[in-house]
Amino acid sequence: MPDYKGKLLALKSEAEKHLNQELLPFWLDRCKDTANGGFITHFDKMGEDSGEDEKSMLAQARCVYTFSSAHRAGYGEGKCLEYAKHGVDFLIDKFWDDIHGGFFWTTDRAGQVTIDEKIAYGHSFIIYSFSEYTLASEDPRGLEYAEKCFDLLQKHAVDTFYGGYYEMFRRDWTLKGPGASGGDRKTLDVHMHLMEAFTTLYECSGKEVHRRKLLEIIHVLNQRIVHPKYLTGIPQFTVDWKVAPQIKFDIVWGWDRFTQDGVKADAEDNTSYGHNVEFAWLLMHSLEIADIPFSEYETLIRKQYDHALADGIDWEFGGVYVEGSHAGGVTDREKEFWQNAEMLIALLQACLVFDAEKYLPAYENVHRFVFDKIIDHKVGEWRPLLTRQGEPIWEHMSHSWKVNYHSVRAIIQSIERIRVLIGRL
Amino acid sequence: MPDYKGKLLALKSEAEKHLNQELLPFWLDRCKDTANGGFITHFDKMGEDSGEDEKSMLAQARCVYTFSSAHRAGYGEGKCLEYAKHGVDFLIDKFWDDIHGGFFWTTDRAGQVTIDEKIAYGHSFIIYSFSEYTLASEDPRGLEYAEKCFDLLQKHAVDTFYGGYYEMFRRDWTLKGPGASGGDRKTLDVHMHLMEAFTTLYECSGKEVHRRKLLEIIHVLNQRIVHPKYLTGIPQFTVDWKVAPQIKFDIVWGWDRFTQDGVKADAEDNTSYGHNVEFAWLLMHSLEIADIPFSEYETLIRKQYDHALADGIDWEFGGVYVEGSHAGGVTDREKEFWQNAEMLIALLQACLVFDAEKYLPAYENVHRFVFDKIIDHKVGEWRPLLTRQGEPIWEHMSHSWKVNYHSVRAIIQSIERIRVLIGRL
């Protein structure tokens, strides 16, 4: 199949060029805050510092992940590792709460705490990025703080009756109130990212307790969080795992579109194509690290792909729709950067595990939309939100909730998978 | 009601005499191991040291509870508190595992570890007794180590998918294997004693997380562990809360009678009258400490009493039967010390909460059996096992799994409740 090989080589080359000449330089050239420590993560559409006096634990941690994983994958000639350490130093110094344990949610640029609450979502990213950092650096502080956060979640966040994790806490880890405070909700988002985090934690520590809790959270995702019929992800639940109307929380880490009342247009029948395939490929990664037979979850994984491919790919204008109904039918046709990023990895993973002939055309579709519409090649990063047709709606290059985790990971993981596909020819 | 008051005064006087002249002196006169630290807990029927070269974490912890609670209740003129501290010193010095955390299961008399496994049941008693110790002494070490054990259980023992707690661990807190190793079982026994432990922990600490986990374990007991129809306690479950055939574990803390195969004669239809009413009165205590309305659990509590009173009291020979069927009918008519001890407290609690005229005759029955048959007044402690008619089967006064927790607590708690009943007249 010479054509096929040529196609893969061209895709890989395009991805490598973007990573080495645009994406990593974008970050390495501007994010290091040498005055205050940590990273600047707010950049406008020109890639200029847009000046927000905010550092979010999430963005700092995601930068640590990005630089650690880039170093592990062989990029940056040591500079990425140096940046990762710079971020770890700042997070431990300014975000760690010496009194109650855990990392604060936001500080100003100087590192003065502005929101002192403890958010499970953020702690999943500390565990993920700090474990990745120790894997990249052998600096024991990464695993040390990842384990501290794991222990804090086990103590404060686990629901020992219904299973799964509570998500929103005050500074002292007392549970926040109901409704918009989020204290009576459980979500796909947090549980999926805890799975991702515990996987890398176990990869780093090799400890039985980390693998055991990983297996348990996979059970939670598989048996509580996916739709009983369609096996697609359901965004929000009450603590006793009843489907909850999807509301906006006081603490956010994205730009989910809600009505003025903070409720989705259809609050009980939304599923995200990007989230579902992100779950699918992350789950396959977890199974590999934890040495669990793929066959146990094959049905679940195939269903995520089938649903996303049936509805989620825009064959007319390219790219991935935002969300739709579990039963079928798209409800939001805009294009967000992160769903497209996760779809890239997921589709190449499906090429490796299932059938390259079936999934490669979809990958090429999304790849083209990402490279032709989403990426701002002149500046170096990805545009956050576009119309269905690919016209930019938002144009800033980074923000506390965007940064570089989805974009850099998508490219590194895609290159790795294309390389394996080529190797098989 | 002059007769009624006279009767209560007589019962109280008999109990006080036993406590002050027999039971506490029995322990204060012989259990302190001045050579090695900690307590001697093996005494034959004459109350002589029977020489077993063993100290169990459970027996040491139960002595700490006994002496702490006796001091809190006003007994011992300081000597009980001194003994409690002596036990705490020894447990921290010899049983605490500096490497993996938690308390070992057994040592020899000198404090050399003989079984290094980590048993949730034992840790529930550390939490209970060490919290009681800090409440009695204001020595912060009690709460400090109680909290360490609570944290270890949250990290290693909680099942974050099915809820509740795993129970049997190796030294490093990895989960033990299935079957007789107990790694795939959950029990009424452990969950009930965790409820008891978290109640006193919360009473001591006032921390939200301790109250939250207490509420969750009450839900586990109420919704997983009691029989769906009869609401009576079911002894053993698989991890997914299916009723499990009642087997004997490698690690034991009592003398439950099993066949040679380690299975109960009727492995799936046993409920213990003593355990059920112990659960009922402990639950009422938990509700009071955690400020939860009694009405939420009134049905459950009444069912435990109704079942125990319908079948569990021997109106011919006195005392409490060992166990029977959930639907009704006694299967084991022998008399064990601890079921009788717990029934004493439970019946007086029912006099206070429900109806003294209904429950006092049952109390008098069990009180008489305890004072006339179970207690060895010459030596000072309680005989462990008797025939239905009250003839001793086993006669030793103490052993690693008997000691003084049930006997001393029963008398202290009974006196307290009789005092309140008298005060109401």
Asked if the C-beta of B102 comes within 8 angstroms of chain A's C-beta atoms, the answer is no
Kindly determine whether residue B208 and residue A165, on different chains, have CB atoms separated by under 8 Å.
Answer: no
What value does the mean pLDDT take over residues B73-77?
Answer: 97
Contacts of B219 in chain A (CB under 8 A): 161
Nearest partner of A155 among B202, B158, B166, B240, judged by Cα: B158
Q: What SS3 string covers chain A?
A: CHHHHHHHHHHHHHHHHHHHHHHHHHHHCCCECCCCCCECCCECCCCCECCCCCEEHHHHHHHHHHHHHHHHCCCHHHHHHHHHHHHHHHHHHHHECCCCCCECCEECCCCCEEECCEEHHHHHHHHHHHHHHHHHHCCHHHHHHHHHHHHHHHHHHECCCCCCECCEECCCCCECCCHHHCCCEEEHHHHHHHHHHHHHHHHHHCCHHHHHHHHHHHHHHHHHHECCCCCCECCEEECCCCECCCECCCCCCCCCCCCCCCECCCCCCCEEHHHHHHHHHHHHHHHHHHCCCHHHHHHHHHHHHHHHHHHHECCCCCCECCEECCCCCEEECCEEHHHHHHHHHHHHHHHHHHHHHHHHHHHHHHHHHHHHHHECCCCCCECCEECCCCCEEECCCECCCCCCHHHHHHHHHHHHHHHHHHHHC
Kindly determine whether residue B160 and residue A165, on different chains, have CB atoms separated by under 8 Å.
Answer: yes
* Pair A406, A337: CB distance under 8 Å: yes
Asked if the C-beta of B298 comes within 8 angstroms of chain A's C-beta atoms, the answer is no
| Nearest Cα residue in chain B from A207 | B174
Instruction: Quickly state the pLDDT bin for B254 (edges 50, 70, 90).
Output: confident
Nearest partner of A209 among B180, B166, B188, judged by Cα: B166
Does the pLDDT at position A217 exceed 60?
Answer: yes
pTM: 0.96
Looking at residue A2, its pLDDT comes to 52
pLDDT tens per residue, range B160-183 = 999 999 999 999 999 999 999 999
The structure tokens 């839900």 sit at B219
Looking at residue A373, its pLDDT comes to 98
Does the pLDDT at position A333 exceed 60?
Answer: yes
Does the pLDDT at position B287 exceed 80?
Answer: yes
Asked if the C-beta of A162 comes within 8 angstroms of chain B's C-beta atoms, the answer is yes
| Nearest Cα residue in chain A from B208 | A174
| Nearest Cα residue in chain B from A214 | B160
Does the pLDDT at position B258 exceed 90?
Answer: no
A161 vs chain B: nearest CA distance in angstroms? 4
Looking at residue A230, its pLDDT comes to 94
What value does the mean pLDDT take over residues B108-120?
Answer: 98
Average pLDDT across chain B, whole number? 96
A275 vs chain B: nearest CA distance in angstroms? 22
What value does the mean pLDDT take over residues B24-41?
Answer: 98
Does the pLDDT at position B425 exceed 80?
Answer: yes
| Nearest Cα residue in chain B from A170 | B208
Residue among A161, A186, A198, A211 with most chain B CBs within 10 A, to mutate: A161
Kindly determine whether residue B159 and residue A220, on different chains, have CB atoms separated by under 8 Å.
Answer: no
What value does the mean pLDDT take over residues A89-94?
Answer: 98
What value does the mean pLDDT take over residues A40-53?
Answer: 97
Looking at residue A37, its pLDDT comes to 98
B236 vs chain A: nearest CA distance in angstroms? 17
Looking at residue A3, its pLDDT comes to 83
B184 vs chain A: nearest CA distance in angstroms? 13
Pick from A264-278, A284-298, A339-353: least confident: A264-278
Residue among A152, A160, A223 with most chain B CBs within 10 A, to mutate: A160
Contacts of A220 in chain B (CB under 8 A): 160-161
Does the pLDDT at position A263 exceed 90?
Answer: no
pLDDT tens per residue, range B367-385 = 999 999 999 999 999 999 9
Kindly determine whether residue B161 and residue A163, on different chains, have CB atoms separated by under 8 Å.
Answer: yes
Instruction: Quickly state the pLDDT bin for A268 (edges 50, 70, 90).
Output: confident
A194 vs chain B: nearest CA distance in angstroms? 12
Average pLDDT across chain A, whole number? 96
What value does the mean pLDDT take over residues A330-344?
Answer: 96
Asked if the C-beta of B219 comes within 8 angstroms of chain A's C-beta atoms, the answer is yes
What value does the mean pLDDT take over residues B108-113?
Answer: 98
Kindly determine whether residue A161 and residue B212, on different chains, have CB atoms separated by under 8 Å.
Answer: no
Of B150, B172, B209, the CB nearest to A173: B209
Of A154, A160, A219, the CB nearest to B217: A160
Measured CA to CA, the distance from residue A191 to residue A349 in angstroms comes to: 21
What value does the mean pLDDT take over residues B19-25?
Answer: 98
Nearest partner of A63 among A381, A290, A343, judged by Cα: A381
Looking at residue B423, its pLDDT comes to 96
Does the pLDDT at position A201 exceed 60?
Answer: yes
List all residues of chain A from 171 to 200 with a beta carbon under 8 Å from chain B: 172-175
What value does the mean pLDDT take over residues A38-63?
Answer: 98
Half-sphere exposure of B375 (CA within 13 A, CB side): 25
Structure tokens at B242: 């299916």
Does the pLDDT at position B2 exceed 60?
Answer: no
Does the pLDDT at position A261 exceed 80?
Answer: no
Measured CA to CA, the distance from residue B230 to residue A169 in angstroms comes to: 38
Does the pLDDT at position B79 exceed 80?
Answer: yes
| Burial group, residue B425, by CB count within 10 angstroms (0-12, 13-18, 19+) | exposed
Instruction: Tell me how crowded residue B265 is: count the other CB atoms within 10 A of its CB.
Output: 12
What value does the mean pLDDT take over residues B2-13?
Answer: 91
Contacts of A163 in chain B (CB under 8 A): 159-163
B405 vs chain A: nearest CA distance in angstroms? 28
A188 vs chain B: nearest CA distance in angstroms? 14
pLDDT tens per residue, range A377-397 = 999 999 999 999 999 999 999
Contacts of A172 in chain B (CB under 8 A): 208
Residues in chain A, overall count: 425
List all residues of chain A from 131 to 160 with a beta carbon under 8 Å from chain B: 150-151, 154-156, 158-160
Of B154, B156, B220, the CB nearest to A161: B220
B10 vs chain A: nearest CA distance in angstroms? 45
Residues in CB range of A262: below 8 A, 6 or more apart:
A180, A247, A248
Kindly determine whether residue A175 and residue B212, on different chains, have CB atoms separated by under 8 Å.
Answer: yes
pLDDT tens per residue, range B34-54 = 999 999 999 999 999 999 999
Kindly determine whether residue B163 and residue A160, on different chains, have CB atoms separated by under 8 Å.
Answer: yes
What value does the mean pLDDT take over residues A263-291?
Answer: 93
Pick from A400-404, B149-153, B156-160: least confident: A400-404
Whole-number percent of chain A with pLDDT over 70: 100
Kindly determine whether residue A216 and residue B151, on different chains, have CB atoms separated by under 8 Å.
Answer: no
Pick from A184-188, A259-263, B66-70: least confident: A259-263
Three-state DSSP state, B253: coil
The structure tokens 């991805």 sit at A15
Kindly determine whether residue A160 and residue B165, on different chains, have CB atoms separated by under 8 Å.
Answer: yes
Does the pLDDT at position A256 exceed 80?
Answer: no
ipTM for this model: 0.95
Looking at residue B3, its pLDDT comes to 83
Cβ-Cβ contacts under 8 Å between A and B: the total is: 68
pLDDT tens per residue, range B332-371 = 999 999 999 999 999 999 999 999 999 999 999 999 999 9
What value does the mean pLDDT take over residues A272-285?
Answer: 97
What value does the mean pLDDT take over residues A374-379?
Answer: 98
